[in-house]
Amino acid sequence: MKYKRILLKLSGEALMGDRQYGIDPKRLAEYADEIKQIHAKGVQIAIVIGGGNIFRGVAGASNGMDRVQGDYMGMLATVINGMALQGALEDAGLPTRLQTALKIEAIAEPYIKRRAVRHLEKGRIVIFGAGTGNPYFTTDTAAVLRGVEVNADVILKGTRVDGIYTADPEKDPTAVKYDTLTFNDVLKKGLNVMDTTAFTLSQENELPIIVFDMNKEGNLARVCDGEVVGTTVNV
């Protein structure tokens, strides 16, 4: 495998499957199967999931809710998703740990970097919930921050789209896909890969980002094998 330790970033919306909101157990089981394939090959796996399928703080703020309150609600939504994924992974026979940036001792360990790294070294899949634990930061930023902290080789951003395009391929049929980009290319072209804070953190720490279609069977294993899947952003 090309990558020994990865940080897999999944959006909350990805867990909806074909539903309008919430969590699709079938989609969870599919993701667990994909993750099981790379775990069997010895890849150390850390995961961050968004919470947009349950609650999005920015959307709450736009409807008149206090932004900070909304962001904390969003963090709790990511914990619910983390618990759901943890259950699916354990159903597939995989060892897991859920760590959260907010203390919720009854259901998860508090995030401790050394403990997280030890879990990874022992072959446990570590799910990081509650974002960074701070309002005004996205789960993209949490993913890169945790990736840097646990010395991941790469950030794998699993989406519904098979990479980064010149425009939104769901809206513009003439959009062309990039196979590789530098961080500077992304900035010059004004491409939307992650939010600015997350992207800058990744660039400063020279942590590559691969954007790929998580819903295509076998894609995760192919990315970890080093095949050209999706779009790679590197120095």
For residue 12, say whether it is annotated as part of any ligand binding site: yes
pLDDT at 160: 86
Cα gap 196→198, rounded to integer Å: 6
Collect all residues with Cβ–Cβ distance below 8 Å to 61 and sequence separation of at least 6. 67, 70
Binning pLDDT at 50, 70 and 90, where does residue 188 land?
Answer: very high
For residue 190, say whether it is annotated as part of any ligand binding site: no
Residues 59-69 pLDDT 10s = 777 788 899 99
For residue 178, say whether it is annotated as part of any ligand binding site: no
Rounded to 10°, the helix 67-91/25-40 angle is 60
Question: Residues 94-102: what's their mean pLDDT?
Answer: 98
For residue 165, say whether it is annotated as part of any ligand binding site: yes
Taken in order of first residue, the domains within the chain and their CATH numbers are 5-234 (3.40.1160.10)
- Render 181-223 in DSSP notation, one character per residue: EEHHHHHHHT--SS-HHHHHHHHHTT--EEEEETTSTTHHHHH
pLDDT at 61: 72
pLDDT at 59: 76
For residue 226, say whether it is annotated as part of any ligand binding site: no
Asked if residue 147 has pLDDT above 80, the reply is yes
Question: Residues 140-157: what's their mean pLDDT?
Answer: 98
For residue 202, say whether it is annotated as part of any ligand binding site: no
Helices then strands, each counted (H, E), the chain:
8, 11
Q: What is the mean pLDDT of the chain?
A: 95
Q: Which of 40, 34, 20 is nearest to 216 (CA)?
A: 34
For residue 42, say whether it is annotated as part of any ligand binding site: no
Binning pLDDT at 50, 70 and 90, where does residue 38 land?
Answer: very high
For residue 168, say whether it is annotated as part of any ligand binding site: yes
For residue 147, say whether it is annotated as part of any ligand binding site: no
For residue 52, say whether it is annotated as part of any ligand binding site: yes
Residues linked to residue 232 through DSSP beta bridges, in sequence order: 180, 210
For residue 122, say whether it is annotated as part of any ligand binding site: no
For residue 9, say whether it is annotated as part of any ligand binding site: yes
Rounded to 10°, the helix 113-121/139-149 angle is 70
pLDDT at 27: 96
pLDDT at 31: 98
Distances (CA, A) of 17 to 20, 23, 139, 160: 8, 7, 20, 10
Binning pLDDT at 50, 70 and 90, where does residue 192 land?
Answer: confident
For residue 196, say whether it is annotated as part of any ligand binding site: no
Question: Residues 25-54: what's their mean pLDDT?
Answer: 97
Question: Residues 181-188: what's their mean pLDDT?
Answer: 95
Token pair belonging to 125: 């899949």
For residue 72, say whether it is annotated as part of any ligand binding site: no
Asked if residue 219 has pLDDT above 80, the reply is yes
Q: Which carries the bigger pLDDT value, residue 60 or residue 205?
A: 205
Cα gap 23→206, rounded to integer Å: 34
Asked if residue 53 has pLDDT above 90, the reply is yes
For residue 184, say whether it is annotated as part of any ligand binding site: no
Q: Which of 223, 225, 227, 203 is nearest to 213 (CA)?
A: 223
Collect all residues with Cβ–Cβ distance below 8 Å to 116 and sequence separation of at least 6. 46, 97, 99, 126, 128, 146, 149, 150
Binning pLDDT at 50, 70 and 90, where does residue 169 land?
Answer: confident
Ranges assigned E (strand) in the chain: 5-10, 44-49, 96-100, 109-110, 125-129, 154-159, 164-165, 177-178, 180-182, 209-213, 231-234
Q: Which carries the bigger pLDDT value, residue 102 or residue 18?
A: 102
Asked if residue 174 has pLDDT above 80, the reply is yes
Asked if residue 58 has pLDDT above 80, the reply is no
Residues 19-32 pLDDT 10s = 888 999 999 999 99
pLDDT at 179: 96
